[in-house]
Amino acid sequence: MPEAASPAQSVLEALGFVLFAREESGALRLLGETPAWLGVLWPALAENDGVLPIADASPFFENFLIDAEECWNAGGSGQAKSGPWVEDGSGSEAQLEATALTANGQPLLLLQRLGEEFEAKKNVLQHARETVIAHQRLNSEIQKKEILLHCVADEMTAALANATTSLRLIEMEDNGPRTQLLLGLANRATQEQQALIQRILGVFEDELRGAYGESGLTKTNAHWDTVLRQALDAATPLFAEKGVSLSAADAATSEIRISLDAMQLERVVGNLLENALERTPAGGTVMVRTANEPETLCLQVEDNGAAIAPQICESLLAKWDPANAAGLRLHFCRIVVENCGGEIGCSPLSGGGNRFWIRLPKSSAAA
């Protein structure tokens, strides 16, 4: 028969706890009466004279008993906690948490029915996780919108440049007064369109400034060495976590400046590094090389990943399809690099892996 409950056990029971003593035989014997909820969950407990048939408990509980045994064998004041779990008993379920401990040399197992506490914890976690997921989705949406906006501006600028060129060619011809009037109107319209594009990009830049802080934006003449070092520093923990080496070959680039926003350029380099990291298995190496060419600077990021077929290489850097969210990072690189008159490309390496590269025009302006 189960032992009579002491006042302390009665208090524990009122708080949703039950106490088991671990006997020499390894059996777990309930101290005190079997509470109704436990009787429903493990009916065999009452039938078995207060000894818990382990086979009737869930695999989770069985698994926890291994940690509990270690704790009991170690003795001392250490505890082993199971963490919360859902025990699915005979047609009923309960949220439980167990703690193994030793008191006065007696190995004990404290079992708690979590009930309201479990629900409260669940509500907090639900809210926290929903917030994290919403934040991730929002960040992703911002990046997509950013790219879409640049795509639209890119397309509009190209179309406008064609229109402007055509108008100039027509202007060179012998036009009557009516045609000249229409040309004037058309020229004004193209100028207005150009101003509109600049305004749209200006608003976008203002938003960026608001999101990242005034100090994060430098209009032009990004200092290449600073940008590269910051991008490498930011990426280093990610590489360390995955166990991938990140090596950068030194090059004489200390005076080089690029006609680009420093923050955008850092994101381009960061995106290329993250892309390489994703492709490289643990234990591999990503090599970063910078070549100082007469008019341009070339950055090469080489990974150890599976070689990408040339046709896939092309599609990775192709124009972004708004219906397909894949490849945003690389597409962002393409937009930024091409907008400043640069080039981007990728190719498989002969010995395995891939090389992603960008070639950027150096700024002629002084620092």
Question: Contact residues for another protein (CB under 8 A)?
Answer: 58-60, 63-64, 66-67, 83-86, 88, 95, 97, 118, 121-122, 125-126, 128-130, 132-133, 136-137, 140, 241-243, 278-279, 281-282, 305-306, 308, 312, 316, 323-328
What distance in Å separates the CA atoms of residue 147 and residue 144, rounded to the nearest whole number? Answer: 5
Q: Do residues 148 and 140 make contact, with C-beta atoms less than 8 angstroms apart? A: no
The nearest distance, CB 96 to another protein, in angstroms, is: 9
Q: Which is nearer to another protein, 29 or 267 (CB)?
A: 267
Q: Least Å distance between CB 176 and another protein?
A: 53
Output 62 or 192, the one with its CB closest to another protein.
62
Element (H, E) at 215: none
Nearest distance, CB of residue 76 and another protein, angstroms: 19
Structure tokens at 138: 């929002």
> Measured from the CB atom, is 350 or 364 closer to another protein?
350
Nearer of residues 260 and 276 to another protein, judged by Cβ: 276
Dihedral angle at the C-alpha atoms of 138, 143, 145, 151, nearest 10 degrees?
Answer: -170
Q: From the CB of 149, what's the least distance to another protein, in Å?
A: 18
- 75: region left, alpha or beta (phi > 0 left; psi from -120 to 50 alpha): left
CB nearer to another protein: give 10 or 245.
245
Instruction: Please choose, from the candidates 287, 277, 270, 269, the residue with its C-alpha nearest in 3D space to the C-alpha of residue 243.
Output: 277
Backbone φ and ψ for 82, nearest 5 degrees, come out as -80, -25
Closest CA to 301 of 325, 268, 327: 268
In the complex with another protein, which residue's Cβ is closer, 71 or 358?
71
Phi, psi of 9, rounded to the nearest 5 degrees? -65, -35
Query: To the nearest whole angstrom, how small is the minimum distance from the Cβ of residue 12 to another protein?
Result: 21
Minimum gap (Å) between residue 106 Cβ and another protein = 24
Q: How far is the CB of 303 from another protein (least distance, A)?
A: 9
Q: Minimum distance from CB of 224 to another protein (Å)?
A: 28
Please calculate the CA angle 243-327-200 and round it to the nearest 5 degrees: 125
Nearest residue (CB) to another protein, 32 versus 327: 327
Category of 127 on φ-ψ map: left (φ > 0), alpha (ψ -120 to 50) or beta: alpha
Q: Is 127 or 199 the residue whose CB approaches another protein more closely?
A: 127
Tell which residue, 356, 246, 225, has the closest CA to residue 301: 356
Q: Which is nearer to another protein, 25 or 324 (CB)?
A: 324
Strands (E), 273-363: 285-292, 296-303, 343-348, 354-361
Helices (H), the chain: 7-14, 36-41, 44-47, 59-74, 116-171, 177-212, 224-242, 262-279, 310-316, 328-339
Minimum Å distance from CB 58 to another protein? 6
Strand partners, 290: 299
3-class secondary structure for 141-163? HHHHHHHHHHHHHHHHHHHHHHH
